[in-house]
Structure 1
Amino acid sequence: MDLRHPLASLTLLALLAGCSSSQPAQPAAEITGECNVDNLQDMLGQNASAELIEQLQQQANAKTLRVLAPGDAATMDYNPQRLNIDIDESEVIIRLTCG
């Protein structure tokens, strides 16, 4: 399973949901962007599902995120508001960092 396509679908779905006329859902918690993964290290070894990735972003308090699989190209810019999720070939989380 290639995780990049479900993540793109999740992002598109979130954007389209913003166009609906129904009542907005209660925000889970306001994200200030001060990313912190100290309390998330127990998530290493978990399968990186779209739901788990969304939870990790909320728990890390990160405004943005990127999922990096082996061989993926990544910019070298440092963004303290970004959660980086490194996964292996089996889409298992092997590293969580901010930056």
Structure 2
Amino acid sequence: MRLKIAGPLVIGLVVAGCASMSSPPPRDPAPRPPTVSEGGDGCGAGPVQDRVGRHYGESLGESIRRESGAGAFRVMRPGEAHTLEYRGDRLNVRLDEDGVITDIGCG
């Protein structure tokens, strides 16, 4: 007799538990990263934008670093791992598979 009562009781508890579950509250979208503007960026990317489209070399990298005045500098090649934290004083130079600069920006 206990088995006849326990079965419906368990099913009832499971159904009640599922009914009380609700979806999580909606999240606010992540803020957009700052954009580079001529003279208004914290890493000095504006003055060196004319290097986009050129083949990257160590001497070009050094001139970009020097002219930008960036607090930190990194070259980002395809397939390499990079940290994702944003640093407004860091200048990122992105290259394509051929070593051509595709983007220069803060981050």
Task: Please give the TM-score of this superposition, normalised by the length of structure 1.
Answer: 0.62
Say whether residues 1:73 and 2:91 are aligned partners.
Answer: no
1:31-65, Cα deviation, whole Å (9 max, x unpaired): xxx41211211111111110110110111111211
Say whether residues 1:58 and 2:66 are aligned partners.
Answer: yes
RMSD across aligned positions (CA) = 1.1
Say whether residues 1:44 and 2:52 are aligned partners.
Answer: yes
Q: How does 1:1-99 map to 2 (within 5 A)?
A: 34-99=42-107
- What is the percentage of aligned positions where both structures have the same residue? 35
What SS does structure 1 have at the residue aligned with 2:49? helix
Structure 2 unpaired stretches of 5+: 1-41
The runs of at least 4 consecutive aligned structure 1 residues that moved more than 4 Å come to none
Task: Please give the TM-score of this superposition, normalised by the length of structure 2.
Answer: 0.58
What SS does structure 2 have at the residue aligned with 1:79? coil
1:40-97, Cα deviation, whole Å (9 max, x unpaired): 1111111111011011011111121111111111111111121100001111100001
Q: Which has the higher contact order (CA 8 A, sep 6+)?
A: 1
Count matched residues: 66
